[in-house]
């Protein structure tokens, strides 16, 4: 403020003006309340504006939507938990927060109680009757009168609390002692001791589950606490790797602030206005998302400056963005230092940055041209660029440069890593065998990391709420409330980033740039793509991700990509995304709620609720409203060159790398989502396949497949086709036991396929120009015509098709007729459809009429037909409805197959089976418990009728032109889009409170016991075992019927072997007994033994694998089995000290030697070529007896190796010291010498010091 000697008293000043500010503001009786005019569906922006005496200030102060469906009047998405859901306010153990020093200690769980939430039924100030005139309603989030409370650890088993005291607002109980150990333990050098951890799960008597609770930690190093007056960043900076940091609530007494442990303390939420950098593995733990809050706003001015200084320091850069050196100090002025004050365990140096960028990721001051398309969006001087300023940015150490310059040019190209750079692993967590010091404190392999029990809101700079930049291995993101954030990729959670280097290929050798993949090439064919391993094993579970928005990372030339809620990007291998609530998120590009974006190994998406998310763009088609799985495009060219992702000279453009192997999409609820500008309202599968089909055209076992099982996909909307499910370049997808009901296509976005930007979109429309003729196909339909609503298959993209070789072999079940060679999959996505419910998926289209009457006489009237007006919320009007359950883009109706392809569902329910008979399909009503249909967003009980489809208004074009279906270049050059408003966007009726949709089968449904067992999952949507009753049921939910008779109690009689040596990595055991059917767990108490691979052989035999830690206590363990009938008696298993040593000492055929540290037998092939058998001598070279337990072929590439029966090794009698026995291996020599050797591995499993004796086998 300036204070001149002005007699009027007026003076110029700078003031901060905040738009849509939630407060708090003073309320009644001295309280502080949220501003009642605050709208959480819009952004919160603050501006620093000069105020001058006598001057009128014009301020450009827009607010932008941060949630789906905002701006279309009232009745916005209801993303609050349903009434009477058990929800957590705070969990306390030994002091504040969810930590106890040992099992048996008591925790206190406090309920959230009554909460004021937005009323979905509110219809604006003109409404005069209840509930339509009420902006808010009160919902109760208590625990009810009773239920169950337990901890679920890594074993997936509920461990109930004991001595529980239960009331509606508080539960207390003793923590069980049998919770499994945390997956990664804090290193002892940092004070770490053994810790156990489990997810707190509360199930009320009404059957409702907690969603975002907390992780409870038992034992380990005592936590550090951050008071409400402290900063979380300073706690992170001062923490040792793996430390548990608990963010305390605000605690006050009648006399002022007080310790949170004081009996007089009143605890309320604590809000920390910070942008956090988690630059080392720590466990950041809130007491509950309602009480530990991070507000990631970027004000006051300059807040990002300090953040950017920290970032460049951690990456080994100076403030000018270039690498630090003796001649380029971090800050030549000396005003700031690297590391900063209080940064503990910072070990970065010139050629050893504290944390690492990804391969080919460049810095701004270094060379902006290295950033590809992202460089177009870079505005700020930090390596994060368009992804900076997240609520929590996770930065990690991922590679070892071994003293080389990490910023030097590699092969004349910048951004690469020097040759010899290696990935860090868990073996790099100590300096040497004699020095336990951790040389890489920021490596996430070495210590536990977690973000849990926090709320993160108001991030707007680009990184979203949480941004895991790279190398964040084993990070757990759980139990967080993530709301009202805006980001470039995602407003919510970003794991990885869109840009990526070229693929790592098997056999490419030095052509694979450093650091290479984390996966061995052994056993993989040449040119198979290996995982990037950028962010391994990230576990995202039990989060509430709602009302966030994405502006979209520009991976494609014209279509942004990135979900409003959560994005997993290339290299997020082996991620888990389970038990999350994803609601009301918005994206202007591909993907509304959740996106799997790029090449990722073995993703897992299960048990999530994905509601009311929206992908919309009025200029170009975008896809995937609820869940999008999409391969990334070809590698970006330099900044000055336009991408050619989909059309153009297609034979010169490589296809996508695909989405990677092993993706599982199981038991998710996808409801009420919208791809308003394109295809795939509920689920979009795009570019699943690509380069691997070109590489292995006749070996479909190498093609990437997605398993889609047990999902309920209902009431979604698509502006073009496939409102339920949409597939393109998805050749081997299995869609089994899903319920796909009441999805609607509106055919309102077809014109977007013919805008000027359409040729550069991420996926082609129906009018792709032929690159050879320069002409579009005939007919080219961009007008609004009926489209498939439940599931649509789309022709393979032009780029993918142009790259296919002359012959490909379609996978079994993925082609029509009997011809796999160049079968249906060459032209279309041909999913395997079995045991699915496709019911009453509706097809609409748009018509444009004359000028409207009365106040509508300035614009053409746009109508959605058929017009199905409702009189009650969710009413299904069947008269006049048009149903189209499954089809192919280009067909003109359910019975028309002019596209040239007819899909082949089997054992499924369809509204009509015309054309799909003869495959055990039925058109009988599946009779679900309750079904609802989309229609009016304004509750019909308050005068709403049906879908609203007003034409788009181009505000910049005056006067507004009359609407027509002719596309224009951009939205401000013509009214060429339709604003669709539909509902209900809530799970319950706003008038009656009744649940709108329950898609479980009702008693008497013809879908019961009508499915095939082939390919059916073993459990259903709710985790109930399949089958129940006389057979498998169609759809996602297995009918439970009457309560089954109690299962008989299991009993064990023996375990073999009955002992195992410490340090045994894998010991197969066999348990024998009775009534073992349905076994769910083998329990070995005492710690140190991990059980895996549980296999039920039959009702009397179970097999499992024991992994015995080197530190396991010696002595007997009481082993039991759990089945639906209870827990069995115990049998004794002994942990013994290591015994003899197994060695391979001779062989009768071939050469026995050691290759790369592995004992190897190379067979000698006779002339003429004939089968050979080698008798291999096994010797106990140790000083104690050696028990051999099994002989297996652990690897058999080519299938030509076999174990001959002439073994002399005993599985019952130990092998004495220096004694020998023999194992015979036969190689079935092929008539012609193969081009590459056949590789195998003989495993002689034993209880000695080499428990997995492996002999590599080579022959050709």
The one-character DSSP state at 1253 is: E
Cβ neighbours, 10 Å, residue 1162:
18
| Whether the Cβ atoms of residue 173 and residue 163 lie closer than 8 Å to each other | yes
The CA-atom distances, in angstroms, between 1139 and each of 656, 694, 1136, 1222 are 52, 51, 8, 20
Mean pLDDT of the 321-331 span: 88
Query: Model's pTM, two decimal places?
Result: 0.81
378 — pLDDT class (breaks 50, 70, 90): very low
**pLDDT, tens only, 162-209:** 999 999 999 999 999 999 999 999 999 999 999 999 999 999 998 999
Q: Tens digits of per-residue pLDDT, 1015-1051?
A: 999 999 999 999 998 899 999 999 998 545 667 888 9
- CA triplet 846, 847, 849: central angle to 5 degrees? 150
pLDDT above 80: residue 1162: yes
Maximum distance among all alpha carbons in the chain?
Answer: 114
Provide the pLDDT for residue 955: 62
Average pLDDT over residues 444-460: 97
Higher pLDDT, 782 or 931: 931
Give dist(CA 685, CA 734) in Å, integer: 12
- pLDDT mean over 319-331: 87
pLDDT band at 618 (very low <50, low <70, confident <90, very high): confident
Reduce the DSSP state of residue 1073 to 3 states and report it: strand
Q: Which of 911, 901, 862, 618 is nearest to 751 (CA)?
A: 618
Q: For the chain, what percent of residues have pLDDT higher than 90?
A: 60
What is the C-alpha radius of gyration for the chain, rounded to an integer number of angstroms? 32
Alpha-carbon distance of 617 to 561, in angstroms, equals 12
- pLDDT at res. 658: 96
pLDDT band at 9 (very low <50, low <70, confident <90, very high): low
**Sequence-distant (≥ 6) Cβ neighbours of residue 1213 within 8 angstroms:** none
What pLDDT sits at residue 366? 41
- The CATH H-level superfamily of 1051-1136 is Immunoglobulins (2.60.40.10)
Domain coordinates of the chain in residue numbers? 1-64, 88-295, 300-389+399-425, 1051-1136, 1142-1259
The per-residue pLDDT of the chain, averaged, comes to: 88
| CA atoms of 1107 and 1069, how far apart (whole Å) | 11
For the segment 817-827, what is each residue's pLDDT rounded down to a tens digit?
889 999 999 99
Pick from 827, 818, 866, 863: which is nearest to 844 by CA?
866
Indicate the range of 586-600, 992-1006, 1089-1103 predicted with least confidence.
Answer: 1089-1103
The per-residue pLDDT for 153 is 95
Mean pLDDT for 385-391 is 87
The Cα 407–Cα 1077 span in angstroms is 59
Task: Report the alpha-carbon distance of residue 395 to residue 448 in Å, rounded.
Answer: 14
Token pair in block for residue 189: 């050098």
Highest mean pLDDT among 134-148, 938-952, 1111-1125: 134-148
Gap between the Cα atoms of 1244 and 1116, Å rounded: 25
Query: If you average pLDDT over residues 1199-1217, what whole number do you get?
Result: 87
Q: What is the pLDDT of residue 1183?
A: 72
Q: Fill in the DSSP letter of residue 955.
A: T
| pLDDT tens-place string over residues 467-525 | 999 999 999 999 999 999 999 889 999 999 888 888 999 999 989 989 999 999 999 99
Average pLDDT, integer, range 717-733: 97
pLDDT band at 774 (very low <50, low <70, confident <90, very high): low
Q: Which CATH class is domain 1142-1259?
A: mainly beta
What count of other Cβ atoms lies within 10 Å of the Cβ of residue 421?
21
pLDDT at 411 over 80: no
Tens-digit pLDDT profile for residues 847-904: 888 888 887 777 888 889 999 999 999 999 999 999 999 999 989 899 888 888 999 9
Measure the N-to-C terminal CA separation of the chain; round to a whole number of Å: 85
* Strands 481-483 and 486-487, bridge-based pairing: unpaired
- Residue 779's pLDDT band, with cuts at 50, 70 and 90, is low
Q: Distance of CA 905 to CAs 95, 737, 743, 813, 892, Å?
A: 58, 11, 18, 10, 19
Task: Indicate the SS3 state at residue 947.
Answer: coil
Residue 608: per-residue pLDDT: 98
pLDDT grade, residue 241 (50/70/90)?
Answer: very high
Q: pLDDT class for 379, splitting at 50, 70, 90?
A: very low
Say how far apart CA 661 and CA 531 lie, in whole Å.
10
Nearest to 659 by CA among 626, 636, 689, 679: 689
CA–CA distance, 20 with 585 (Å, rounded to integer): 19
Write the CA distances from 229 to 96, 232, 303, integer angstroms: 15, 10, 18
Report residue 986's pLDDT band, with 50, 70 and 90 as the boundaries.
Answer: very high
Residues 1225-1241: tens digit of each pLDDT: 999 999 999 988 999 99
Pick from 443, 448, 452, 450: which is nearest to 470 by CA?
443
Residue 380: what pLDDT?
A: 46
């Amino acid at each position: 403020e300036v204070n001149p000697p002005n007699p009027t008293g007026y003076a110029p000043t700078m003031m901060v003006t905040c738009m849509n500010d939630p407060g708090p503001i003073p309320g009644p009786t001295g309280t502080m309340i949220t501003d009642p005019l605050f709208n959480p569906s819009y952004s919160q922006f603050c501006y620093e504006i000069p105020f001058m005496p006598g001057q009128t200030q014009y301020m450009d102060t827009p607010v932008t939507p941060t949630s789906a469906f905002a701006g279309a009047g009232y009745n916005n998405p209801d993303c609050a938990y349903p009434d009477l859901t058990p929800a957590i306010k705070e969990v306390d153990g030994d002091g504040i927060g969810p930590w106890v020093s040992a099992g048996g200690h008591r925790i206190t769980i406090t309920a959230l109680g009554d909460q004021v939430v937005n009323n979905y039924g509110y219809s604006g100030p003109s409404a005069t009757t209840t509930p339509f005139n009420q902006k808010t309603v009160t919902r109760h989030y208590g625990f009810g009168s009773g239920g169950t409370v337990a901890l679920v650890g890594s074993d997936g088993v509920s461990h109930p609390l004991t001595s529980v005291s239960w009331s509606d607002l508080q539960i207390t109980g003793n923590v069980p002692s049998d919770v499994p150990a945390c997956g990664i333990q804090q290193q002892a050098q940092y004070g770490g001791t053994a810790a156990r951890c489990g997810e707190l799960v509360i199930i009320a008597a009404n059957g409702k589950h907690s969603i975002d609770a907390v992780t409870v930690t038992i034992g380990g190093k005592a936590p550090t606490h951050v008071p409400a007056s402290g900063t979380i960043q300073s706690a992170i900076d001062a923490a040792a790797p793996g430390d548990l940091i608990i963010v305390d609530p605000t605690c006050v007494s009648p006399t002022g602030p007080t310790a949170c442990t004081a009996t007089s303390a009143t605890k309320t939420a604590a809000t920390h206005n910070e942008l956090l950098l988690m630059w080392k593995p720590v466990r950041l733990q809130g007491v509950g998302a309602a009480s530990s809050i991070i507000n990631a706003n970027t004000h006051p001015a300059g807040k990002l400056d300090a953040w950017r200084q920290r970032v460049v320091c951690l990456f080994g850069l100076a403030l000018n963005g270039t690498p630090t050196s003796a001649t380029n100090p971090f800050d030549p002025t000396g005003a700031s230092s690297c590391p900063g004050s209080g940064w503990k365990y910072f070990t970065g140096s010139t050629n050893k940055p504290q944390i690492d960028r990804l391969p080919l990721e460049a810095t701004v001051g270094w060379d902006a041209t290295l950033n590809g398309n992202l460089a177009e969006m870079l505005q700020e001087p930090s390596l994060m660029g368009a992804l900076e300023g997240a609520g929590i940015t996770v930065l990690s150490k991922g590679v070892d440069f071994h003293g080389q310059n990490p910023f030097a040019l590699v092969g004349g190209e910048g951004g690469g890593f020097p040759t010899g750079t290696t990935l860090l692993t868990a073996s790099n967590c100590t300096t040497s065998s004699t020095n336990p010091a951790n040389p890489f404190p920021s490596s996430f392999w070495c210590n536990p990391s977690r973000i849990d029990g926090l709320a993160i809101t108001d991030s707007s700079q680009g990184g979203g709420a949480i941004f895991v930049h790279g190398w964040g291995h084993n990070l757990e993101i759980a139990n967080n409330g993530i709301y009202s954030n805006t980001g470039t990729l995602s407003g919510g959670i970003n794991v990885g980033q869109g840009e990526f280097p070229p693929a790592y290929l098997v056999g490419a050798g030095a052509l694979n740039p450093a650091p290479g993949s984390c996966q061995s090439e052994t056993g993989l064919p040449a040119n198979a793509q290996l995982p990037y391993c950028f962010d391994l094993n990230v576990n995202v579970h039990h989060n509430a991700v709602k009302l966030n928005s994405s502006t979209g990372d520009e991976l494609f030339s014209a279509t942004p990509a990135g979900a409003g809620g959560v994005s997993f990007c290339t290299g997020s291998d082996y991620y888990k995304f389970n038990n999350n609530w994803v609601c009301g998120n918005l994206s202007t590009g591909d993907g509304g709620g959740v996106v799997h974006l790029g090449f990722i190994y073995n993703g897992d998406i299960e048990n999530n609720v994905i509601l009311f998310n929206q992908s919309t763009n009025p200029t170009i088609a975008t896809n995937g409203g609820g869940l999008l799985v999409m391969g990334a495009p070809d590698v970006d060219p330099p900044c000055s060159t336009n991408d050619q992702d989909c059309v153009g000279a297609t034979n010169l453009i490589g296809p996508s790398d695909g989405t990677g192997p092993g993706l599982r999409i199981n038991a998710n609820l996808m409801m009420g989502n919208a791809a308003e500008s394109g295809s795939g309202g509920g689920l979009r599968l795009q570019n699943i396949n690509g380069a691997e089909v070109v590489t292995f055209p006749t070996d479909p076992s190498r093609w990437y497949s997605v398993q889609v099982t047990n999902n309920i996909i209902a009431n979604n909307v698509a502006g073009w086709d496939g409102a339920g499910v949409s597939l393109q370049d998805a050749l081997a997808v299995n869609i089994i036991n899903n319920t796909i009901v009441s999805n609607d296509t509106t055919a309102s976005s077809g014109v977007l396929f013919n805008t000027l930007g359409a040729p550069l979109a991420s996926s082609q429309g129906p009018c792709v120009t032929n690159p050879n003729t320069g002409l579009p196909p005939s007919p080219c339909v961009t007008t609004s015509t009926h489209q498939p609503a439940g599931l649509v298959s789309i022709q393979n993209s032009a780029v993918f098709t142009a790259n296919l070789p002359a012959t490909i072999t379609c996978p079994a079940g993925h082609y029509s007729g009997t011809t796999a060679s160049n079968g249906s999959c060459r032209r279309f996505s041909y999913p395997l459809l079995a045991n699915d419910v496709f019911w009453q998926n509706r097809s609409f289209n748009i018509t444009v009429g004359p000028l409207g009457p009365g106040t509508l006489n300035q614009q053409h009237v746009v109508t959605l037909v058929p017009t199905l007006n409702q009189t009650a919320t969710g009413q299904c009007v069947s008269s006049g409805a048009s149903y189209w359950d499954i089809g192919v883009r280009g067909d003109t109706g359910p019975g028309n197959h002019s596209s040239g392809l007819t899909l082949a569902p089997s054992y499924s329910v369809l509204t009509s089976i015309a054309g799909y008979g003869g495959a055990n399909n039925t058109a009988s009503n599946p009779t679900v418990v309750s079904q609802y249909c989309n229609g009016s967003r304004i509750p019909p009980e308050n005068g709403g009728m049906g879908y609203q489809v007003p034409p788009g208004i181009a505000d910049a074009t005056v006067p507004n032109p009359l609407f027509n279906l002719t596309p224009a270049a951009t939205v401000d050059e013509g009214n060429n889009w339709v604003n669709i408003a539909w509902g209900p966007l809530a799970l319950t009726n706003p008038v009656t409170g009744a649940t709108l949709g329950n898609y479980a089968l009702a008693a008497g449904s013809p879908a019961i016991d009508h499915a095939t067992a082939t390919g059916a999952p073993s459990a259903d949507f709710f985790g109930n075992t399949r089958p129940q009753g006389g057979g498998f049921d169609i759809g996602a939910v297995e009918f439970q019927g009457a309560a089954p008779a109690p299962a008989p109690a299991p009993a064990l009689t023996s375990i073999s072997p009955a002992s195992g040596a410490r340090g045994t990595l894998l010991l197969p055991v066999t348990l024998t007994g009775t009534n073992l059917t349905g076994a769910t767990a083998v329990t070995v108490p005492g710690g140190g033994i991990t059980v895996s691979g549980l296999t039920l052989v039959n009702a009397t035999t179970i097999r499992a694998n024991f992994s015995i830690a080197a530190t396991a206590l010696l002595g007997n363990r009481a082993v039991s089995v759990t089945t639906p009938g209870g827990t069995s008696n115990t049998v004794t298993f002994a942990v013994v000290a290591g015994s003899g040593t197994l060695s391979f000492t001779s062989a009768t055929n071939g050469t026995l030697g050691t290759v790369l540290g592995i004992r190897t037998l190379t067979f000698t092939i006779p002339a003429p070529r004939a089968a050979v058998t080698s008798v291999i001598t096994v010797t106990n070279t140790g000083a104690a007896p050696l028990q051999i337990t099994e002989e297996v072929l652990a690897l058999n590439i080519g299938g030509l190796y076999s174990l001959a029966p002439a073994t002399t090794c005993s599985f019952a009698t130990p092998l004495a010291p220096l004694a020998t026995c023999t194992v015979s291996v036969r190689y079935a020599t092929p008539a012609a010498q193969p081009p590459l050797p056949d590789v195998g591995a003989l495993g002689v499993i034993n209880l000695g010091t080499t428990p997995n004796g492996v002999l590599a086998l080579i022959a050709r």
